Amino acid sequence: MNEPQAALSIETVHKSRRAPDGRTVEILCGLSLDAHAAELTAIVGPSGGGKSTLVRLLNRLEEPDGGRILLFGEAIAGLDPLVLRRRIGLVPQKPFMFEGSVLDNLQRPFHLREEPPPAADSETLQSVLALCRLDPELLSRAARSLSLGQQQRVALARSLSTGPEVLLLDEPTSALDRPTADRLAATLREICRSRRLTILMVTHDLRLAGRVADHLAYLEAGVILEEGRPEELLNHPRTEQLRRFLAEPGTSEEEPA
Amino acid sequence: MNARAILDLSLPDLALVYGLILLVAALARLRGIGQERDLLWSSLRMVVQLLAVGYVLHFVFALESAASVLLILAVMTAFSVQAVAGRVKHRMPRFYRIVGSSMLVGCGGATFFFCNAVIGLDPWYDPRYLIPLAGMIIGNSMTGAALAAERLAAEMRERREEVETALCLGATARAASREAVRSAYRAALIPSINAMAAMGLVFLPGMMTGQILSGTEPITAVKYQIAVMCVITGSVAVTSFLILLQGYRAYFTPAHQFREEG
């Protein structure tokens, strides 16, 4: 495979978990996928398919049981996790806002890394605010008083402020209503283009994924069943599983005619 | 310690004062307000238990070998670790090892510092001083240890999202758990801080009162009490600090990953 360079290469990754009843359940069963540099890759699939687990393996919040993951050709298992997590940002499904203002939240990563934080009027912060379509007026507001959509954007800006090479998004729109989700999707598209950032997003929202992704992969039961260009997958699903997923209500939702 | 000879209590004296309990119990029975059974049973237990402890101490104070005194201190520490485990509902990973070593270092250090560097016991293991002082130090540190351990486990559970968000933003395990550790440390120290602030105003501490009753000059007793409070607070602080220092690490892998509990 000497195609465009893969920013992230996931090679036959396995991961099991101990279920509450003591049995071991395999979550990821030899999953392989490439996310190309400066592209937005979306992984869609039903809940419980292993999407969130995969995201946690990619910035080493957890370790896989087998297989390997490469970041620009380098095995992440050999990288210092602290360095790795500076290179790969992760915005979790339910963004956590630290106590304090939006500015405090944006400066938090720098405090946590014991680096001098950028000032409110610095180029770094102003440019991520603009990119994430956050009004600079919000900086002084208490972060926890913001709407969910705004919190999601603050979390995004917080991850971007430190300049990661890859951004991971876990269900970025699951808590948002349709118009808010659409606006966020447009913002993601723009971030990917203007910063030439590699984005890997997992979601069960097929409509969203179809609109924003350059590359789409369908994950069910711990493996990628199909991948390709979004319109290919959506219009000509090859597997029975994807066909069934497409037909489910709530995944492709009432597309306006 | 000079002053007058202590007024010893004779057996008839004791019987007379126990009569007070019997009187109260009889009154309770007469008026039908209850509690007389509990009153009698508890007072009997108190008499038997204290007499037993008295004889044990009588025996212990006569000990002339360092090894046997140290053995007693070790048993006291083991009991206190067990008591902490009983009080803490959610235990951190590696609970016994962490609490045990912290109590040993915190309480042991404070006790020997006080007994040897400060008051200069001769011999250094003189059980008459060492055992009661260690008892007070261990007893107070136990409370601090239980609060620190309980609070840390609760904080780690409640702040899971916060900790993982911090890790995702490039924080070390230490930086990510800083707030949890601070909050647990505060919880552990509050009783000692409050006790020191209220000392002498709200209550007269038992040790000081006891010394005064047994004939010690009040100023001497006060000086002892100040010293003991400092040592106790020091021991509580060091023990809790060591528990939290080892405790937060138990929640992370060396690769700064938050562990599932257990």
Which residue of A63, A94, A112 is in closest CB contact with B170? Answer: A112
Tell me whether B29 touches chain A (CB under 8 Å): no
pLDDT tops 70 at residue B247? yes
User: How far does chain A reach from its first CA to its final CA, in angstroms?
Assistant: 39
Give the pLDDT confidence of A225-238 residue by residue, as tens digits.
999 999 999 999 99
Query: What is the pLDDT of chain A when averaged over all its residues?
Result: 90
Which pTM does this prediction carry?
A: 0.83
E-state strands within chain A: 6-18, 24-36, 40-44, 66-71, 74-75, 88-91, 166-170, 198-203, 215-220, 223-228
Residue with the larger pLDDT of the pair A257 and A152:
A152
pLDDT tops 50 at residue B5? yes
Q: Answer for the pair A216, A44: CB distance below 8 angstroms, yes or no.
A: yes
What integer pLDDT is reported at residue A174 of this predicted model?
A: 82
CA distance A221 to A213: 22
Tokens of B64: 């002339």
pLDDT tops 80 at residue A250? no
Tell me whether A153 touches chain B (CB under 8 Å): no
Tokens of B209: 């009162």
Sort A57 into a burial class: Cβ within 10 Å, 0-12 / 13-18 / 19+: buried
Which helix (H) or strand (E) is B76 found in, with range?
Answer: helix B66-87
What integer pLDDT is reported at residue A5 of this predicted model?
A: 74
Going by DSSP bridges, is the β-strand pair A40-44/A198-203 parallel, antiparallel, or unpaired? parallel
What integer pLDDT is reported at residue A3 of this predicted model?
A: 53
CA distance B17 to B36: 17
Contact criterion met (CB < 8 Å) for A114 and B175: yes
ipTM computed for the complex:
0.90
Query: What is the pLDDT of chain B when averaged over all its residues?
Result: 90
Residues of A in contact with B172 (CB under 8 A): 82
Contact criterion met (CB < 8 Å) for B175 and A94: no
Q: Chains A and B: how many Cβ contacts under 8 Å?
A: 57
Tokens of A56: 């946690």
User: A217-237: string of b/e by CB count within 10 Å (b at 16+)?
Assistant: bbbbebbbbbbeebeebbeeb
What integer pLDDT is reported at residue B4 of this predicted model?
A: 55
Give the pLDDT confidence of A41-72 residue by residue, as tens digits.
999 998 888 999 999 999 999 999 999 999 99
Task: Name the residue of chain A whose CA is nearest to B172's CA.
Answer: A82
pLDDT tops 70 at residue A257? no
pLDDT tops 80 at residue B79? yes
CA distance A125 to A106: 8
Which residue of B175, B255, B257 is in closest CB contact with A112? Answer: B175
Residues present in chain B in total: 262
Give the pLDDT confidence of B100-157 residue by residue, as tens digits.
999 999 999 999 999 988 888 888 888 888 988 999 999 999 999 999 999 999 999 9
| Contact partners, residue B23, CB within 8 Å, separation at least 6 | none
What integer pLDDT is reported at residue A34 of this predicted model?
A: 95
β-bridge partners, B258:
B252
| Secondary structure percentages of chain A, helix, strand, coil, to 5 | 40, 25, 35
Which range, of A74-78, A104-108, B141-145, B211-215, averages the lowest pLDDT?
B211-215
CA distance B102 to B104: 5
Backbone angles phi, psi at A19, to 5 degrees: -75, 160
Query: Quick one: what percent of chain A has pLDDT higher than 70?
Result: 95
Query: Quick one: what percent of chain B has pLDDT higher than 70?
Result: 97
Give the pLDDT confidence of B32-49 residue by residue, as tens digits.
888 888 899 999 999 999
Side chain identity at A139, as an amino acid letter? Answer: L
Long-range contacts of A106-111 (CB under 8 A, 24+ apart): A106/A139, A106/A154, A106/A157, A106/A158, A106/A161, A108/A158, A108/B166, A108/B169, A109/A158, A109/A159, A109/A161, A109/A162, A109/B169, A109/B170, A109/B171, A110/A161, A110/A162
Chain B nearest CA to A180, separation (Å): 23
